[in-house]
Structure 1
Amino acid sequence: MIHHLSLGVTDIERAAAFYDAALAPLGYVRVWSDLRPGEPNQAAGYGIPGGGDTLALKHRPERHQPPGPGFHLAFSAPDPHAVEEFYRAALRHGAKDNGAPGLRAHYGPRYFAAFVVDPDGHKLEAVFNGER
């Protein structure tokens, strides 16, 4: 249904380093980038290796607001260990904890997830919802 989603970020280099680290454990990589320090309209895209982007970061240095209550972006994880690695990498790169890795039985019997808020205030989740 969704081709890609774009997020505005105030510091594109910081954001790219954050998403490089946080998404790697989930199997996602930077598939393209247009980073030109000091210039306008910089961006980077993330997806599966060899594919197109499903997440784009757009440099928006002006003051911005992340999406409001109710919005968060959930990334699929291949297993619970990847959820834990996502969480640790995100925190090491400036995220705020918004829910440590663990089973969320109220979402489903195998719903293992972690929640963080990225350096620009975007709410993120990594989730594994399959057999262990």
Structure 2
Amino acid sequence: MLHHLSLGVGDIAKAAAFYDAALRPLGYVRVWEDIRPGEEDQAVGYGLPGGGDKLALKHRPNRTGAPGPGFHVAFAALSRDAVTDFHRAALSHGGQDNGAPGLRSHYGPNYFAAFVIDPDGHNIEAVFNPKP
């Protein structure tokens, strides 16, 4: 359904470093960038190698914060290890723990996820949910 999602960030370089590290274990990479220090409308896009962006970070230094409760972005992972590696990388690059890697049986019997608050306050998740 979605073509891509954009998130506003206060510091594009800091946000890009965070997402470079956090998304790498999930197989997502920076597929384009428009970083011009000191200029307006900078952005970075992430997706699968060789593909288009599914997530764009837009530099918005005057933003008033992340969306409120109920909003989060969930990234698909290929394994439980990838979810754990996402969580570890995110925390080591400025993220805050919002739910350690583990089964979330209230979402389904195989739903394995981790939650992190990124440096700009966005609630992000990595999830591995194989069908039985």
If the TM-score is normalised by the length of the shorter chain, which range does it land in? over 0.9
Give the counterpart letter for 1:19 in structure 2: Y
Of all paired residues, the percent bearing the same amino acid is: 73
Partner SS, residue 85 of structure 1: helix
2:101, 2:131 → 1: CA distance? 16
Displacement after TM superposition at 1:38 (Å): 1.2
**What is the match of residue 97 of structure 1?**
97
State the Cα distance separating 1:82 from its structure 2 match.
0.1
Cα displacement (A) at 1:63: 3.6
CA distance in 1, matches of 2:70, 2:121: 13
Structure-2 residue corresponding to 1:5? 5
| SS of aligned partner of 2:66 | coil
SS in 1 for 2:7: strand
| Matched residue, 2:118 | 118
| Amino acid in the other structure paired with 2:14 | R
Q: Which runs of 5+ in 2 are unaligned?
A: none
TM-score by length of 1: 0.97
- State the 1:131 CA deviation: 5.9
Question: Segments of 4+ in structure 1 off by > 3 A?
Answer: none
The answer to whether the Cα contact below 8 Å between 2:9 and 2:63 also exists between their aligned partners in 1 is: no
Give yes or no for the alignment of 1:109 onto 2:109: yes
Aligned counterpart, 2:72? 72
Give 5+ residue unaligned stretches, structure 1: none
Query: What residue in structure 1 maps to residue 130 of structure 2?
Result: 130
- What's 2:31 paired with? 31
What is the TM-score with the length of structure 2 in the denominator?
0.97
2:33 aligned counterpart, secondary structure: strand
Number of aligned residue pairs: 132
Q: Distance in 2 between matches of 1:44 and 1:51?
A: 14
Offset, 1:67? 0.9
